[in-house]
Amino acid sequence: MANSKRKLPTKPSATEDPTPQKDTPRSSEESRTDVNHKSAKKSFPPLNQFFRDCLGHDLSNFTSLAHFTSWLHRPVDGAALGIFRLLYGAAMLIDIAEERGGGQLDVRFQEPLHCHFPLFNGMRAMAYPLMGCVYLCMWLGAWGIMLGYRFRTSCLAFLIPYWYIFLLDKPTWNNHSYLFGLVGTLLLFTQAESYCSLDSWLNPRKSRCIPYWNYFLIKFQFFVLYMYAGLKKFSLEWLSGYAMSNLSHHWVFAPFRQVIDPELIDLLIVHWFTAFFDVSIAFFMTLEKTRLLVTPFMLSFHLMNSRLFVIGMFPWVCLAEVPLFFSSDWPRRLGNWSKIRLVHPKDPEEELSKPGILARLRTGLILAYCGLQLFLPYSHFITKGYNNWTNGLYGYSWDMMVHSYDTLQTSIQVVDNESRQVHNLNPYAFTEYDRWTKYADMAVQYARCIEENIREKQPDIGKNISIYFDIWCSMNGRFQQRSFDPREDLLRAKWSPFESTSWSLPLLNELNHMRPKLRTIETEVLAWNNYSDVIFVADFPGLTLTNFISPDLINCTLTILEGNVRYRNERDPEAYFLTAGKSIGLESNITHLVTTIGQKPASYLFTYTNKTMLEQGITIEQPEIEERSVLPLWQEFQHRVTNYEQFLGHIGNCLMYLLYDVPIPQAVKGGD
């Protein structure tokens, strides 16, 4: 008895596959889930095979919330996301000095009378030295993101100043600035510091794996970017070829000019191909069968954009995102840093553990975010006050390059209601932006900012004033027309974000049929000589165009295309009624008044010859003769270095003022 030992039951090792006890019943929910999981494979074998071959995933992953949650939370290598984090942080370090305005920090924030256009009227810019600290915090945060050091803290240090600066000035909005903020916010919740980071070096992780939803969110955001950019281009406005003109003359299209006319390049490649590319490229990059085939098109597209447009870091961030569509462990295999590749089961969905409450809640939040991103670009029926010629504020709808503007004239009149004196104000006296000329909400904000500045500088004038804007601009090759009613006092104008703005004049789409004719007329006028030009104008009934013709212009003519107008000038009180097809010569160095009469808008054109250019022999083509480098990479690098030196100098000035009370040099605003 003393030598006999009782044998204890052994615990199965982690490598063994223990048989479940027969007396341990499974829950009805788990049994039902497994039945649905397997029945989805058996019910639709061709469709499931298609999903597996093209997407690399089983259709059953999307048949229930539980399966989808398990699919989102399955472990994958975090290496590819770590490389993207590093490249994104590096791009943001450059972006801060450029599109975030760090190089022009003093111009934007040092002048106390500078007008800002915040999304929320209660927001205010801090004092210039404090704004320097805001930019310093954002800059340090970008460094932390790139290096992967104290990643969550670095993300917050970058994102809070970023969104503050973004929301402070709506005129600076664009789609890629919005994208940068969204991507940074998504990275905050991921484990992007798990690879190629100081955090992973200082505190090595036991596992290389991160949940797949870390990748899913970033890829979904870029998927929406491409798909919606394409959907917004599948409109008559874009496909007609009026949005982008003369791009075919750029050197990147030189190979195409050997076989296609420039006009066809603008239409077929710039407009039609781009629309198809945007709407389809994300799908092709998602499909394993087509991914390698379309990757060269993806890379070429963004490299061409970096040469065609001044859009900052946008092409480079998109290029940094391309590898996310490939295997998550490609950096390890590419550098041969790990000879052992992560081994996944043949059918991982069957071996994933059932998702818990937190995982399901996380999936719900992910789906809510995805739904919000799908809804926002088409939510303009709610925010009607931001709609004018286009729907909503530019910058969050992914309608990139769809609209191009040409502003002909901007005038601001300040009327003293007590003395009835009229003062003409420089439109850009308190801002360097011009997007307020096209959006009613920013026009009201600018008018109120002007009033505050006048009251501060000239209290005797600013007690009881009215402010009127008269702005003429053209969109996508249309007539020059007014964007706001010039009779509306913007200090007393009614505006609400949820109601249509009555004094914001609509786009005259009823004259769209004349755009081909305008091109023909313009070609004929420009063919007269090197000094002739034409301006196309459309106006609303009851409004008067006051046009002073400079003495530098000769052979001026007014021709009516459609509608009826009443014409007179300041020297001749007699009025002339002109109908469609009628013309009249105009004298130089006097003011002419053209009033639209009747019930319909009138359209007309002015032709003229520049006498000064004619006498001096100046040709319009002369600026294009100047030699420029085809690929000015060195010049761009030097410009970026200079801009960064200015940015760091501004930060240093702010810190020296706050720490040692050293005076800050006064910014010198460029001439008008």
Cα(520)–Cα(523) distance, integer angstroms: 5
- Read off the tokens for 609: 């010859």
- The arithmetic mean of pLDDT across residues 163-169, rounded, is 96
What's the full length of the chain, in residues? 672
Mean pLDDT of 595-613: 92
Give CA–CA dist 305/483, Å, rounded: 30
Strand order in the sheet with 405-416: 422-425, 405-416, 465-475, 481-482
Q: Contact, 592 vs 633, CB < 8 A? A: no
Residue 24: phi and psi, rounded to 5, are -105, 95
**Active site includes 233?**
yes
pLDDT at 616: 75
At residue 359 the predicted structure's pLDDT band, cuts being 50, 70 and 90, is: very high
Report how far residue 246's alpha carbon sits from residue 628's, in angstroms, rounded to the nearest whole number.
18
What would the two tokens of residue 264 be? 């066809």
Q: Distance (Å, rounded) from C-alpha 189 to C-alpha 187?
A: 5
What mean pLDDT is reported for the chain? 87
Give the domain ranges of the chain: 73-327+358-378, 404-499, 514-616
Q: How confident is the model at residue 622 (pLDDT cuts 50, 70, 90)?
A: very low
pLDDT in tens, 178-200: 999 999 999 999 999 999 999 99
Contacts of 132 (CB under 8 A, 6+ apart): 105, 650, 651, 653, 654, 655
Architecture of domain 514-616: Sandwich (2.60)
Contact yes or no for 596/558 (Cβ under 8 A): no
Q: Which range has the worst mean pLDDT, 395-404, 486-495, 589-598?
A: 395-404
DSSP assignments along 151-207, one per residue: HHHHHHHHHHHHHHHHHH-GGG--HHHHHHHHHHHHHHTS-GGGSSSHHHHHS--S-
Which stretch of DSSP H or E encloses residue 444?
helix 440-457
Q: What is the pLDDT of residues 647-670, one digit of tens each?
A: 999 999 999 999 999 999 887 665
**208 in Cβ contact with 197 (< 8 Å):** no
Is the pLDDT assigned to residue 231 strictly greater than 90?
A: yes
- What does the pLDDT read at residue 618? 66
Q: How far apart are the C-alpha atoms of 70 and 77, rounded to whole Å?
A: 16
DSSP of 532-552: EEEEEEEE-TT-EEEEEPPTT
User: CA-to-CA distance for 174 and 540, rounded, in angstroms?
Assistant: 31
Q: What is the pLDDT of residue 614?
A: 77
Please indicate whether residue 625 or residue 556 has the higher confidence score (pLDDT): 556
The residue type found at 152 is R
Which contacts (CB < 8 Å, 24+ apart) does range 498-501 have? 498/382, 498/383, 498/384, 498/385, 499/384, 499/385, 500/384, 500/385, 500/387, 501/384, 501/385, 501/388, 501/440
pLDDT above 90: percentage of residues in the chain: 70
Model pLDDT, residue 577: 95
Q: In the prediction, which pLDDT does 353 show?
A: 63
* pLDDT mean over 118-142: 95
Q: What region does 437 belong to: left with phi over 0, alpha with psi -120 to 50, or beta?
A: alpha
The more confidently predicted of residues 320 and 623 is: 320
* pLDDT for the residue numbered 463: 79
Sorting pLDDT into bands at 50, 70 and 90, what band is 573? confident
Q: Give tens-digit pLDDT for 236-279.
A: 889 999 988 889 999 999 999 999 999 999 999 999 999 999 99
Instruction: Please give the angle made by the CA atoms of 245, 250 and 253, to the nearest 5 degrees.
Output: 100
Tokens for 304, please give them. 């061409």
Catalytic one of 170, 232, 233, 438? 233
The mean pLDDT value for 370-378 works out to 95
How far is 386 from 495, CA to CA, in rounded Å? 9
pLDDT digits (tens, 9 = 90+) for 276-300: 999 999 999 998 889 999 999 999 9
Name the CA dihedral angle for 423, 425, 430, 434, rounded to a multiple of 10 degrees. Answer: 140
Q: Is the pLDDT of residue 392 over 80?
A: yes
Residues 82 and 63 sit within 8 Å (Cβ to Cβ): no
